[in-house]
A = this chain, B = another copy of it.
Amino acid sequence: MKNRKLLMIPGPIEFEPKVLQAMGAVTTSHVAPNFINSFGNSIELMRKVWLSPKGQPFIVAGSGTLAMDMAAANLIETNDNVLVISTGYFGERYAEICKRYGANVTILKTEIGATVSLTAIEKELASKKYKLLTITHVDTSTGVVINPQPIAKLAKKYNVLSVLDGVCSVAGEEIKQDEWEIDVVLTASQKAVGVPPGLALLVASEKAMKTFKNRKTLVGNYYADFTNWLPIMNAYENRNPSYFGTPPVNLIAALEVSLQFIIEEGIENRFKRHQKMALAFREAMLALELQLVPISKNNSSNTLTAVYYPENINGGDFLKNMSDNNVIIAGGLLPSIKTKYFRVGHMGSVNSNDVIATISAIEKSLKTCGYHFRNGIGISTAQDILS
């Protein structure tokens, strides 16, 4: 049972009650005027949240992996060279996806918790003609963030399409898609966008759409094919119904509500709130003398934090204690260190109370597990930052 346990995993997260009300509202026809309007509004609101006034949004039933798949399937043709800049599990996955569509994939990676240098990226881009590069903005497996702006700039310099996997960053970490000239920014609903899981979301630049339209071969994946979805997005944006597949009515109604909340908060305010919550949480972990998976503060994300268990603390015991303390956090995901760390999501509608409650539960659980630290040091460190 969930009861009143606080959900602090890196997605799904705590959702706004009004978003959940939209989820549970009576389902209308997918061609009903109120739904057509919700769908059209969601498309327009995505452009605002993505800071991409010129981009083409897509809203499709599926998981975040479908969004990754859509970008790859529509932009890659057999024998294209693709550069994957990996900071963990999801970089590896993106390499696998790109290979599936016939790409020759080069992966750039470094030790766990670090990011590939711009020098290494430029060296690789200069070495041969790449069609596309992918960046995992925040790898949900490690909590490592990479700054996409200078990479997108390099992509531009070498005339390479840039795809930003923003599953764990959109509407949490700063992204200015048009200003930074990123060709695809993709995400899933259940992360910082704040909607229950089930929607793949992406915005494609004019250049990406042109590349897609100039394909010489059919898209390898039927369901992901922009050819099927583009007329639907255009129709609903023009407030006309159209049919390819039945849209996930309740999820899209919930999306409209959440995107509206994001715009009401102000996207810049939202980025700042995420920075502050993350800083408070991170500093609390460091005050408890725990080690973060990201090797520096510069590459620690603002949407989740990955923390190594102290030595001699059993992960399973710790997670069970956390649940007993009514806070749900996540275990590790990256195979090579899976049992050695935990992950805490702090994104979406997360507030100071959530952060403090989570740190409080971590302190209690660590204590029960036999770890020694100055009682309250985590909470007071966070409190200083949040006050």
Binding site for B on A (CB under 8 A): 1-2, 7, 9, 11-12, 15, 20-34, 61-66, 69, 72-73, 96-97, 100-101, 188, 190, 196-198, 218, 220-224, 243-251, 328, 330, 333
Contacts and interface: CB of A to CB of B under 8 A. Distances in A.
A344 to B, nearest CB: 12
A249 B9 CA distance: 14
Given A12-B249, A96-B222, A246-B11, A23 B26 contact: no
Given A30-B197, A63-B247, A220-B221, 7 more contacts: A12-B27, A32-B328, A61-B62, A63-B246, A64-B245, A188-B246, A190-B249
B65 A63 contact: no
A138 to B, nearest CB: 15
Contacts of A20: 24-27
A28 to B, nearest CB: 5
Given A97-B222, A246-B197, A29 B7 contact: yes
A3 B244 CA distance: 26
The quantity of this chain's copies bound in the complex is: 2
B23 A2 contact: no
A28 B11 contact: no
Contacts of A224: 221, 223
Contacts of A32: 2, 328
Contacts of A27: 7, 12, 15, 20, 190, 196-197
Nearest to A219: B100
Contacts of A62: 61-62, 66, 223, 245
Given A21-B24, A64-B245, A222 B100 contact: yes
Contacts of A221: 69, 73, 100, 220-224
A103 to B, nearest CB: 12
A66 B250 contact: no
Contact of A246 (B12, B96, B328): B12
Contacts of A65: 222-223, 244-245
Given A61-B197, A222-B96, A34 B2 contact: yes
A320 to B, nearest CB: 11
A190 B66 contact: no
A328 B31 CA distance: 10
A271 B135 CA distance: 51
